[in-house]
Structure 1
Amino acid sequence: MQIYQTMNDVEVFVGNYCAINFDIYDLWLKGHSASDATMLEQKKINLKMFGITVEDLHSDIMDHYRLFFGLEEMLKTPPRLSHQTVYQLDADNISLLIQKYYSFDAPVIREIFGRKLNSRSRKDLDDISEETGVSVRSCRRQFDNAKRVFKTVEELRGRLVDNIQLHFCLRESLAKDYAAIVFISNNRFETGKKKLNYMTFADFAACANHMISNWSYSSEDCQDHEDMDVDMDRDFLLDLREVKVLSERDYVEEHKGLMLRALQQSMNEKVLTEMDSNFRSVSKIIITIAYGLNHSKESRDIFIDIYEKLIEPWVQMLWTKSDVQLFLASFKDTAQQLDVFRSSPKLVKVWERYMQTFCPCVLQMYPR
């Protein structure tokens, strides 16, 4: 609806459609004050060309900021935006408002998900702001968003990504990022150790999403898809204890022999020799990590265990990522040639399910 009324030299416009300036919205999301936003916009605009003053620009930005603050309460429960009648917004603008509001700076979230999502951790945001160079206001928004998503979906049954999309209207890629945040926070994985500082948010998110796909209740091999996706499949973790049989001396020696033959043509002699001399300890580590997933205290250290017990020694031996990839692929495949696997289809499934996530996680973590 548009109404024009002329009174002498004054033209009055009344409308009910809500225009969003997304450049100013971005500045608001970054935590800039209206005064700071005015200075930043002033550098981009030739005010004289448009016949406006700095005061006019500041007034316009203040109007936008009031609009954003008015929308913010609804952005905390995004489905409300499509049903509210206070602001007339088209579907594309609603979607863009939501996606941008729930966007985040990866370094900020990298710091956040190593902490509990509670009020005590919120007090540390000043430090996170200083470390990342992101404003405190923006850090608070990102922390509160992560906490809100976590609290909303932590008790819901079904697929984690679907629940996040349903309740927050996020595109799939962003929903997967939040699923990783929820999964890592819920399982209390240790991500803050100094030795893990080289890992980015993307590294942890990739590993978490592999775990969600294969180790949680959403896995195709899970018998109860209706359970909560934020947890690892308890039956799978119990079944993983059976892979401990690979630690028995006879199986270790047979497994090593199979691997040496399988890799003789594709792996260089130096790496093959190192693999031969270290096979028993490496095999034990991989199996111990699998067995330990059933114990919350040990499962929390999965990232640091992978780094300290596998990656660090391989890096010291100058193994390339290709060497590690060859080793892990052969380790997974040749194990299934052992008699204990041939006689137990269930063990084969459990082993595949474990290694289908373990291998890509190690490779994701391996330094470039």
Structure 2
Amino acid sequence: MLSCLMAFVDIFVGNGTFVDREVYQLWLGGYSAEDAAHVLHKRGILQQYGATLDMLLSDIQDHYRTYTMIERYLKIPHRLDTQLAFQISPDTQVMMIERYYTFDPVVVREILGKKLSSRDRNCLDDISEKTMIPLKSCRRQFDNIKRVFKHVEELKGSLIENIKMAFQLSDDLSRQYAAIVFMANNRFETTKKKLAYLTFADFICCANLMIQNWSCTYIDNQATSEDVDVGIEKDFLIGLREVKSLSDKENLEKYKMFVMKAVAGKLSPKASHHLENNFKTLSKTLVNVAYGLNHNKELRDLFVDLVEHFVEPCKQAGWSRTDVKTFLKSYQETASLLVYFRTRQNTFKVWQRYLSTIISCIIQLYHD
């Protein structure tokens, strides 16, 4: 008798998508497949796998085609998890989204202050040439910023949380995009020659401080999720109109007396002498900037005014960054001694809310 043996074989067919992180990063960087192949060749990948340059190029082209097809989902991240065309692990999805929206600070520094219009996009060639970042990558970064801005500009609630939820980004990247959106919405001037020394990090630091302390979601405010977070809170701006009286002669003289007493022996001789002769000018600058936040033109020129009327004069007079910190700390602390504020507690709170942010911004802008 012959025995018949039957073998049962389970077969699994899948379309799992492999994402090579090195190749993906080169694709995001705007490198052509040919350029990417040469980059990897220089890193010794051919020797590692015993492949030829043509084989490497073919493999990269295959990856590039895949990433180009996936890109439409990256533009609307929540669809990446629900689409069925590509089987991508959750960890890889997170990586792809985060890297897709990551940007080069030098590129975004050039974009800050622009309208994010089609005309500006057509001028990215200059930014690409200046920053040495491939044009394709510059376009991706510009388009991402514009996409995020358009999506959240009228959403209510926390700007950072709105970005984080809509685009599934990390806390840190969401915070950076929030600052960029805030800058764009308020049209801050960042392109003037005297601001050229300021870095992307300088502007983002200041913008985040403004969002935290001046927007509708200010922690001590009674704002609700119904408030839009891309601008400065209206009640705060109205309150700042009252501080104009700090530039009156009587208030200035008393303010100077309190501050000079507080900084006695704490400033360098150069800074002390300059402050004695220029306290009124520096104080009026801080007051005028506060009052000017109510007007679009003055708000847009916030960084220009701080650099031109505070940072530059102090630098020319030989102030160190420590001198600036010491003066501004005393300027804020002694405000409570003014009779003007003793009878206007609400205005005093607004003034302190304003100073806590503007002082940190000035220190950030004051490069030694």
Shorter-normalised TM range = over 0.9
Aligned to 1:141: 140
Question: What is the DSSP-based 3-state SS (H/G/I as helix, E as strand, rest coil) of the residue aligned with 1:192?
Answer: coil
Distance of 1:332 and 1:212 partners within structure 2: 20
What aligned pairs does 1:73-88 form with structure 2 within 5 A after superposition?
73-88=72-87
**Offset from partner CA, 1:199-252 (integer Å, 9 cap, x none):** 010000000000001111111233333311001101100110111121111111
What aligned pairs does 1:1-368 form with structure 2 within 5 A after superposition?
15-45=14-44, 47=46, 50-225=49-224, 226-368=226-368
**Residue type matched to 1:150 in 2?**
F
Give the superposition deviation at 1:91: 1.4
**Residue type matched to 1:71 in 2?**
I
Give the superposition deviation at 1:48: 5.5
Give the superposition deviation at 1:290: 0.3
**Residue type matched to 1:72 in 2?**
E
* 2:328–2:359 contact (8 Å) kept in structure 1: yes
Unaligned 5+ runs, structure 1: 6-12
Give the superposition deviation at 1:59: 1.5
Distance of 1:210 and 1:320 partners within structure 2: 23
Distance of 1:220 and 1:267 partners within structure 2: 34
**Residue type matched to 2:75 in 1?**
K
**Residue type matched to 1:182 in 2?**
V
* 2:270–2:319 contact (8 Å) kept in structure 1: no
* 1:251–1:338 contact (8 Å) kept in structure 2: yes
Aligned length, in residue pairs: 359
Give the superposition deviation at 1:46: 5.1
**Residue type matched to 2:147 in 1?**
R
Distance of 2:53 and 2:262 partners within structure 1: 73
Do the aligned partners of residues 322 and 204 (structure 1) sit closer, same or farther apart at CA in structure 2, a change above 3 Å counting? same
* 2:270–2:318 contact (8 Å) kept in structure 1: no
**Residue type matched to 1:142 in 2?**
Q
**Offset from partner CA, 1:257-304 (integer Å, 9 cap, x none):** 111111113223432222111111111111011000000111110000
Q: Between the two proteins, what is the percent identity of the paired residues? A: 47
Which aligned runs of 4 or more in structure 1 are off by greater than 6 angstroms? Answer: none
Question: What is the DSSP-based 3-state SS (H/G/I as helix, E as strand, rest coil) of the residue aligned with 1:336?
Answer: helix
| Stretch moving more, 314-323 or 218-227 | 218-227
**Residue type matched to 1:343 in 2?**
T
Distance of 1:342 and 1:220 partners within structure 2: 24
Distance of 2:45 and 2:33 partners within structure 1: 19
**Offset from partner CA, 1:39-79 (integer Å, 9 cap, x none):** 22122235366343222211111111111001100000111
Give the superposition deviation at 1:348: 1.8
**Residue type matched to 2:198 in 1?**
M
Distance of 2:287 and 2:49 partners within structure 1: 69
* TM-score for both structures, normalised by structure 1: 0.94
| Stretch moving more, 156-165 or 256-265 | 256-265
Aligned to 1:8: none
* TM-score for both structures, normalised by structure 2: 0.94
Give the superposition deviation at 1:162: 0.3
* 2:37–2:56 contact (8 Å) kept in structure 1: yes
Do the aligned partners of residues 49 and 284 (structure 1) sit closer, same or farther apart at CA in structure 2, a change above 3 Å counting? closer
* 2:152–2:159 contact (8 Å) kept in structure 1: yes
Question: What is the DSSP-based 3-state SS (H/G/I as helix, E as strand, rest coil) of the residue aligned with 1:26?
Answer: helix
Give the superposition deviation at 1:95: 0.7
Q: CA RMSD in A?
A: 1.6
Give the superposition deviation at 1:326: 0.6
**Residue type matched to 1:352 in 2?**
Q
Do the aligned partners of residues 128 and 46 (structure 1) sit closer, same or farther apart at CA in structure 2, a change above 3 Å counting? closer
Distance of 2:312 and 2:270 partners within structure 1: 18
**Offset from partner CA, 1:174-193 (integer Å, 9 cap, x none):** 11111111001100000000
Do the aligned partners of residues 112 and 49 (structure 1) sit closer, same or farther apart at CA in structure 2, a change above 3 Å counting? closer
Question: What is the DSSP-based 3-state SS (H/G/I as helix, E as strand, rest coil) of the residue aligned with 1:312?
Answer: helix
* 2:216–2:227 contact (8 Å) kept in structure 1: yes
Give the superposition deviation at 1:4: 9.8
| Stretch moving more, 338-347 or 182-191 | 338-347
Give the superposition deviation at 1:14: 5.2
**Residue type matched to 2:312 in 1?**
E
Distance of 1:48 and 1:260 partners within structure 2: 70
* 1:106–1:201 contact (8 Å) kept in structure 2: yes
Give the superposition deviation at 1:351: 0.9
| Stretch moving more, 53-62 or 321-330 | 53-62
Distance of 1:46 and 1:4 partners within structure 2: 36
Question: What is the DSSP-based 3-state SS (H/G/I as helix, E as strand, rest coil) of the residue aligned with 2:356?
Answer: helix
Distance of 1:56 and 1:268 partners within structure 2: 67
